[in-house]
Amino acid sequence: MTLREDDPRSVGGYRIESRIGSGGMGVVYLGRSVSGRAVAVKVVHARYADNAEFRARFRQEIAAARRVSGAFTAPVVDADPDAERPWMATTFVPGRTLAERVAESGPLDWPALRRLGTELAEALREIHRAEVVHRDLKPSNVLLEGEGADGIVRVIDFGISRAATSDVRTQTGMVMGSPPFMAPEQFSRPREVGSAVDVFSLGAVLVYAATGRSPFEAENAYLAAYNTVHSEPELGELPEPLRPLVSACLAKEPADRPASGDVLDALAGLPEELPDGGAGEEPPRIPVTVLSGTVKVPSAATGQADREAGQAGRKRRGKRLWIAVVGAALLGIGGTAAALVSGAPTSAVGEGDRADPRAAPRGSVPSGWKPWHNALEPDKDEPMPFGPSCTPSALGVFCSSPQVALMRLSPATGRVDWTKPMSEKEVSSFSMREPVVHGDVVYVNSADRSEGVDAYDGRTGKRLWHLDGPVGEFAYLSGVLLVRLDELGPSDTARFAAYEPGTGEELWQRKLTSTSPSPFHEGPEGMLYADLRGGSGGIARLDARTGETLGTVKAPEGDLWLATVHDSTAYYARWEDNTGVSAAFFIQDLSSGKTRRIDFPWSVEPEAPPLVHGDTMYIFDYGNETLLALDVKRGKPLWTSSRELRVFSEPAIHDGRLYVNLPDTSILALDPRTGKEIGRTAPSFDTQGRSFEELTPSSMPPLLVGEVLYGSSGPGIFSVADVL
């Protein structure tokens, strides 16, 4: 591949000639040393260069690659993990990958397949003897050196490998690898993987080489992960002599798989040629015995195998779903967060999909509107704040910060219409919450720095009423402004009050005990749900106007996080061993109390409650920057966005389309049924050269108002025309 304009021309003294390819961590170039020696130079992506975790992983890759340099790997020539953009050079191996070989010429014949398996097993044996786990063995990481199908096998790209004794661990929730060739434990127990994952991948690669398909092939990565954990492998036209060995490699439990050395011994015992075989005649089969995680090949004299041995006592595997960050999920703070929880684009949602009181009619745009962006940086005319939190609406974009109590950006131009100053009073601590917008009223932290609540007319900026602070939380739910009067702290007991949104009149006040710092959730019109676990132990239905308890259902037992309530249904994730990883998801009908459980194989890391719409749950996986769609009625995954796409915000659903932000500050529209791209906007900011920290994923999803989309990102706020 030819070099691009922004590609380096020299790295570490090596002259760069062309691109070989790119992956999740970096770009690989063909380079030349001063003497003319060809090398493959891998350079870490700029967005990861300042990330300590990725630098640690890259150092680990270099160390691992150096430890396993041998006949079936590409030796390390040079490296600099401390460079501005870390890089590593290995011997350049001319040839094509197994994926390219199969795509161009079809599945391998028996001699080539047997040789491939033998050399891969030998490579893994040496890798494991060096106490390294590759963790991403797949067809594109298997290089066939030389011409034709009989090229010498080289295992490349140790990008996510680790030494068995390394302290560098995969981040909780981060799925590393390629799902169609990953072992089940890489999805459910990523911190516990060992050399058995490579043996599983070897079995999957052999099936691919023989059939052109992974044994867990699916239309997307998430379904492939689900098949890997729950389904039996599809072996297709895999030659009969290989089936017992490959089946053993693909065992769900790591302890039931053979070691790489045992796989090598078993492959060495297979015939070099298969007989032609007459009609109705099966090829000869070499029996394999699975005993305590090893494969034994019987001698030709005995020809017996006890394939049942070692299967008793198989432990049931725990399946983890996702981790939930409670701090970002408290009570659905802000209008957009409430919309995210509800599944309908509204800041006060009950049953069904009521119209968003902030939204303009479909087809409308603000008078004089043109696409705009505002970096929220100070200048002489517009005193912009530092570190603002913003909420868009049909009236404009409302922002607050420790410097400015509230400002409104014009929906037509993005310029500041008016500001409300923040008191300069010095306080020992001060925290800000994003503005809560409902109808024409905006609720923010009070301008007196007491961390109370101020309510403003969103059109004029006139203050309507004030509540002294400090208070813990506030949110608009079920027609009232609900406020935690006590500050957040170690106690499970706190006072809560409901106020008339327009006047600030107190409607009721109650003291509640709950393990959740924000126990209230939106219910049907005029009703609230209160999570009283830690106190009475149930989920109570309350009259939003009076605070009166209308009924209670018993909550499911266990360490569960009530992630969201939608359409009178509660969605819980179970926490395990204080890891933040959930092995199960519980769905409870809050009328009958009936609860059912669903399991998913992929651990994910959301920053906010999931978006539930009908029978589908959409989760933004912060750790992997993907969007997952789950059928909660059947307990099945539907689709996942590609990790190459890099979703960068919570999702929102408007008019039958899903909208998410991308890192380059464009907005993407997806078909909610299939995950297919409908269209995307042009980027609003120039993000070239910005670090990962400057482009942190946002908990605020895009908002559609009429024909205009409003988005928020690290660089600032922007407004663009809808993609359709």
CATH of the domain at 165: 1.10.510.10
475-511: pLDDT as tens digits: 999 999 999 998 877 788 999 999 999 999 999 999 9
Q: Does 484 lie in the same domain as 625?
A: yes
621, part of any domain: yes
Contact between 479 and 348 (Cβ < 8 Å): yes
Q: Does 85 lie in the same domain as 105?
A: no
Q: Does 297 lie in the same domain as 338?
A: no
- Tokens for 262, please give them: 């045992």
CA distances from residue 625 to 332, 600, 621 in whole angstroms, order as listed: 21, 18, 5
Q: Does 460 lie in the same domain as 428?
A: yes
Of 43, 67, 92, which marks where a domain is finished?
92
CATH of the domain at 33: 3.30.200.20
Q: Does 712 lie in the same domain as 587?
A: yes
Contact between 188 and 230 (Cβ < 8 Å): no
- Tokens for 41, please give them: 């130079």
Q: Which pLDDT band, with edges at 50, 70 and 90, does 600 fall under?
A: low
Of 40, 67, 92, which marks where a domain is finished?
92
Contact between 3 and 21 (Cβ < 8 Å): no
| Angle 432-435-437 from CA coordinates, rounded to 5° | 165
292 or 709, higher pLDDT: 709
316, part of any domain: no
The residue ranges of DSSP E strands in 356-514, in sequence order, are 372-374, 389-393, 396-400, 404-409, 416-421, 436-438, 441-445, 453-457, 463-467, 473-477, 480-484, 493-499, 506-513
CA distances from residue 293 to 76, 232, 253, 261 in whole angstroms, order as listed: 32, 19, 10, 12
268, part of any domain: yes
Residue 278 has pLDDT above 70, yes or no: no
Q: Does 110 lie in the same domain as 51?
A: no
Q: Does 383 lie in the same domain as 423?
A: yes
118, part of any domain: yes
426-482: pLDDT as tens digits: 765 566 788 999 999 999 999 998 889 999 999 999 999 999 988 988 999 999 999
Residue 515, SS3 per DSSP: coil
78 or 714, higher pLDDT: 78
Residue 143, SS3 per DSSP: strand
Our count of domains for the chain comes to 3
Q: Which pLDDT band, with edges at 50, 70 and 90, does 387 fall under?
A: low
Of 92, 124, 148, which marks where a domain is finished?
92
CATH of the domain at 705: 2.130.10.10
d(CA 336, CA 391): 7
Q: Does 477 lie in the same domain as 365?
A: yes
**What pLDDT, on the 0 to 100 scale, is given for residue 594?**
94
Q: Does 292 lie in the same domain as 378?
A: no
Low-confidence winner among 145-154, 209-218, 458-467, 635-644 (lowest mean pLDDT): 145-154
On average, the pLDDT of the chain sits at 77
Contact between 234 and 216 (Cβ < 8 Å): yes
Q: Tell me what percent of the residues of the chain surpass a pLDDT of 70.
A: 75
712 by Cβ neighbours in 10 Å (0-12 / 13-18 / 19+) ranks as buried
d(CA 94, CA 74): 11
| Angle 433-439-442 from CA coordinates, rounded to 5° | 30
Q: What's the order of all strands across the beta sheet hosting 506-513?
A: 473-477, 480-484, 493-499, 506-513
Q: Does 642 lie in the same domain as 548?
A: yes
Q: Does 610 lie in the same domain as 482?
A: yes
Contact between 475 and 336 (Cβ < 8 Å): no
- Tokens for 137, please give them: 């063995």
Q: Tell me what percent of the residues of the chain surpass a pLDDT of 90.
A: 36
312, part of any domain: no
**What pLDDT, on the 0 to 100 scale, is given for residue 254?**
93
- Tokens for 176, please give them: 């590393």
d(CA 161, CA 183): 14
| Amino acid, res. 145 | E
Rg of the chain (C-alpha set): 29
CA-nearest of 460, 461, 459 to 447 is 461
21, part of any domain: yes
**What pLDDT, on the 0 to 100 scale, is given for residue 621?**
77
357 by Cβ neighbours in 10 Å (0-12 / 13-18 / 19+) ranks as middle
Q: Which pLDDT band, with edges at 50, 70 and 90, does 265 fall under?
A: very high
**What pLDDT, on the 0 to 100 scale, is given for residue 490?**
76
Q: Which pLDDT band, with edges at 50, 70 and 90, does 145 fall under?
A: confident
d(CA 715, CA 718): 9
278, part of any domain: no
Low-confidence winner among 10-24, 144-158, 326-340 (lowest mean pLDDT): 326-340
d(CA 390, CA 433): 9
CA distances from residue 257 to 113, 122, 231, 232, 269 in whole angstroms, order as listed: 20, 16, 17, 15, 18
390 by Cβ neighbours in 10 Å (0-12 / 13-18 / 19+) ranks as buried
d(CA 404, CA 17): 53
Q: Is the peptide bond before 697 cis (omega within 30 degrees of 0)?
A: no
456, part of any domain: yes
551 or 230, higher pLDDT: 551
Residue 263 has pLDDT above 80, yes or no: yes
Q: Which pLDDT band, with edges at 50, 70 and 90, does 691 fall under?
A: low
Q: Does 390 lie in the same domain as 428?
A: yes
Q: Which pLDDT band, with edges at 50, 70 and 90, does 336 fall under?
A: very low
CB crowding 366-383: b at 16 or more within 10 Å, else e: beebeebbbebeeeeeee
Can you give the residue range of the structural domain that contains 83? 1-92
